[in-house]
A and B are shown apart, each in its own frame.
Chain A
């Protein structure tokens, strides 16, 4: 692997003295889709918050594009703005769906003309199938619609890195397929690096080129898709992908 986009070195994250994440080493390559699977409470969302530089780790260093960041030198805004997250529980602003999707652009001073029906905001809304709800207050959206709005509001930003935390948890099969095709296309056409957190082993297998198992804050195994799902080295990975793991 050439210089990875992300390189985590001895990352430890503690909350109130409890170690929640303890990753000795993890590299994420530019342009790959890495799936992170693991049981509830394993630290998957915590890992994504660190990758988006929303929290500083208790100790350790995260290199992004070769630059090291840590507790003593947090990542600047210009770095954070290249990375976007679709959160597990999306929270939207008390505003219309359109304004929510436009929000990130507005922060960057790139808000398009609302009259232009072809603008980036309308395009993103069309992509996720929410164009008819553009003017609706965001608080009236259903769970699945909210999740798609949360995807649309990061798609407009054209991030280099997309972090997805259970992005299809609230969706019906049709919309799962829609989101999966959007993610695949972003990755293949625009080379967007994707970290996909999911409980769904089948989804991980469909989308990712590599997969990692996180257990109790530690990475048990990380391997390319064929090895991870076909011939995993660790018995805990075998148990997890067979669905034998008891939580």
Chain B
């Protein structure tokens, strides 16, 4: 495809695709590292405040990305509560790091909620028999996650779907800056506003392809594990 014909050079397109993958990939990785253990603990153990946590996670699963964006924006902006602290490791607004933070907040409840449902779906008798065979709590959790692997992969897919396609949060905290924070979804918004529908559609197709290929890969993983 000669992208020059539609007024967007290939290098710029690749840059946008790469940033989309980087931001959402890193956000997904961190969300999985937090969300899978969190979901497993919520599904397998009883502790004080568990019900409240479950309600919070369920609410988080339906958060509008734009609200998350607004929240992160307010937190990170110079006059915001965190911005004012001037911590050097805190990401600045309008950077990929800020976009990653917002996407972690969107994806983590999705990963945790679906993981919780998956481990709770594992036969309780099997859970007890795993324990009877001499598993430590950690070993037991790992085995149950392995038993629930189909559901855990669905949790990761849901988390990825929730962030690769969202525009509200990355637009607010990233700002859609060319060569810096422009990702596929924000590029689509921009091109549509400019009236360049064919480019917007092309970018949309690229986004769909990206999601499709990623999910194909996850499916492959599911098949391997079966």
Contact = CB atoms under 8 A, between A and B. Distances in A.
A54 interface: yes
B: interface residue count bin: 10 to 19
A104 B134 contact: yes
A93 B143 contact: yes
A157 B132 CA distance: 12
A13 interface: no
A interface, by DSSP: helix, strand, loop or mixed?
A: loop
B147 A94 contact: yes
Contacts of B128: 49, 54
A107 B133 CA distance: 8
Contact of A87 (B129, B135, B139): B129
A93 B139 CA distance: 14
A205 interface: no
A91 B123 contact: yes
Contacts of B126: 91-93
Interface in A145-164: 153-154, 157
Contacts of A85: 129, 132
Contacts, number: 44
Contact of B135 (A84, A92, A107): A107
Given A80-B134, A87-B125, A103-B143, 12 more contacts: A77-B136, A80-B132, A87-B129, A89-B125, A91-B125, A91-B126, A92-B126, A93-B143, A93-B147, A104-B134, A107-B134, A107-B135
A104 B133 CA distance: 5
A: interface residue count bin: 20 to 34
A157 B134 CA distance: 10
B53 to A, nearest CB: 24
Contacts of A9: none
B131 interface: yes
A52 B135 contact: no
A54 B131 contact: yes
Interface string A79-91: 0110011010111
A136 to B, nearest CB: 15
29 contacts: A49-B128, A52-B132, A54-B128, A54-B131, A54-B132, A77-B134, A80-B134, A81-B134, A84-B133, A85-B132, A87-B125, A89-B125, A91-B126, A91-B129, A92-B126, A93-B126, A93-B130, A93-B143, A93-B146, A94-B147, A103-B143, A104-B134, A107-B133, A107-B136, A107-B139, A108-B134, A153-B133, A157-B133, A157-B134
